[in-house]
Structure 1
């Protein structure tokens, strides 16, 4: 296995993307950070729960004279909350941050689906539920080190990969219209370009590079489909009138480059 294990994926738009798989080192570092954050959350919960349970127990004892039944109920509730904290931490962040937890975001790695698209609630839940199994006897480490795709058990079941977060910034080697440049400036203020992931950018770039070799029908259909998806991703309500899908994709390409380069 090479030091950097790269993998090529085929997106639903039939665009081939290449990623660098996150190795065991970066994944372990991210998990360590997550466990520290998770432990702090647990500490706050235990302090708050201890204070609350004492107050509830005292109130019940003053009413009925005995709190044995209440203590059993409180313990059961605490177990349910503990399960929610254990699983919910990873599910919440990976769903909200498109495959990233605080640890993954700091280390700059991200979980994606096998087709290169961001993980959703279903994949994040499966990954979180199987994490204790992966942690047991270091089974996850074994699967990651000796697996070609560096997947732990949770990744195999959920159909996910963990990859390096790469900045897809390259110079354009295809023509871009002047209209796209003007629209790119407008997108900087009207769209939420931070929601555009590097692989979304890579799909746009691959289309713009290959569009000249497509038939007019295929170019028209693919550009419209991509434009609709990107418009939803960047939370853009409406486009200026008479803007074609091609010009829109060009403008998103330019706007993303400008924002990522700090222009």
Structure 2
């Protein structure tokens, strides 16, 4: 990457174009220029056939200079450094400070380019580009320009590892609006490189980042939760909120309501009733319905009859 510094002391990260891409762009431009030159030459020679040889030679020389030298200068000036070949190859001519070129830059590049590219069949330009650290030919050196790449392949962003399932939705009530973007970036970079760090260094970094995030949210980190799991859960919650604001729905797989906290003590079923000692009444089972009282017999009181005897002694008298 080229370290170019502007007048405001700003370092520009520009990627200079190398010889293969520049050679392909020049080849396309030369094919177009010579095609236009030959077409115009045939048209003018047929139109000026009545002139003498000197006039015909003058017209041919003027046409040569106008098309093969003035054509690239006019195209780069009007397009701010993008000819047809450079447009196809994704290149652009810029000044050394990164700004667009002007007529004087295009004029110097076009005049020297006619000598080092067309008159020397590209040998001088190739040698100068190979010697230069930024692939500049003589026209670029004298004009103070640089050919850079515009279409740079951008790698797909690496997704942050998802949080464990037991912390996926424990942060729905956190206030994440006060966490600064710089801290989010640090947390994301840590989660992307957590597998490459030493375990002790990874733990200390996670603890420090989790403490900073908890201080901005105003809610302490749950006791017993690993700091790395806390950070992944907070990042997943932020991404879910961003997706909900942008698309109206949370990411697939994110629960709508938080599950029960894994840090609360587990609940166990009630113990089964122990057998009662001999001679004592058996304990009533919670699953057994209570006994339904029977109505008293007609013509007698509740203390008379087999039912009363059964309640008193537990035995049923013979009929």
TM bucket, shorter chain: 0.5 to 0.7
Map of 2:30 onto structure 1: 35
1:31 CA displacement? 0.6
1:40 CA displacement? 1.4
- Highest RCO, 1 vs 2 (Cα 8 Å, sep ≥ 6): 1
| 1:141 equivalent in alignment to 2:126 | yes
| 1:102 equivalent in alignment to 2:84 | yes
Map of 2:42 onto structure 1: 47
Q: Give 1:77-92 correspondences, 5 Å limit.
A: 77-92=59-74
| 1:153 equivalent in alignment to 2:138 | yes
Distance in structure 2 (CA, Å) of the matches to 1:147 and 1:168 = 24
Q: Which protein is bigger by CA-based radius of gyration?
A: 2
Q: Identify which of 9, 20, 23 aligns with 1:25.
A: 20
Distance in structure 2 (CA, Å) of the matches to 1:147 and 1:99 = 20
Distance in structure 2 (CA, Å) of the matches to 1:105 and 1:118 = 15
1:81 CA displacement? 2.1
Distance in structure 2 (CA, Å) of the matches to 1:151 and 1:84 = 25
Map of 2:255 onto structure 1: none
Conserved 8 A contact 2:72-2:110: yes
Q: Deviations over 1:9-39 (max 9, x none)?
A: 1223433211111000000000111011112
Q: Deviations over 1:75-118 (max 9, x none)?
A: 21321121111111210111111111100011010111111111
Q: Deviations over 1:174-233 (max 9, x none)?
A: 9xxxxxxxxxxxxxxxxxxxxxxxxxxxxxxxxxxxxxxxxxxxxxxxxxxxxxxxxxxx
Conserved 8 A contact 2:68-2:114: no
Q: 1:159 to 1:105 in 2, by over 3 A?
A: same
Conserved 8 A contact 2:4-2:98: yes
Larger helix proportion, structure 1 or 2?
1
1:163 CA displacement? 0.5
Q: Identify which of 72, 90, 93 aligns with 2:75.
A: 93
Q: Secondary structure at the match of 1:156?
A: helix
Q: Give 1:91-240 correspondences, 5 Å limit.
A: 91-135=73-117, 136=120, 138-166=123-151
1:133 CA displacement? 2.9
Which structure 2 residue ranges, 5 or more long, are not aligned? 158-180, 183-319
1:72 CA displacement? 1.5
1:167 CA displacement? 6.6
Q: Secondary structure at the match of 1:74?
A: helix
Conserved 8 A contact 2:37-2:68: no
Distance in structure 2 (CA, Å) of the matches to 1:95 and 1:13 = 25
Q: Secondary structure at the match of 1:17?
A: strand
Distance in structure 1 (CA, Å) of the matches to 2:77 and 2:99 = 12
1:47 CA displacement? 1.8
Name the count of aligned residue pairs.
155
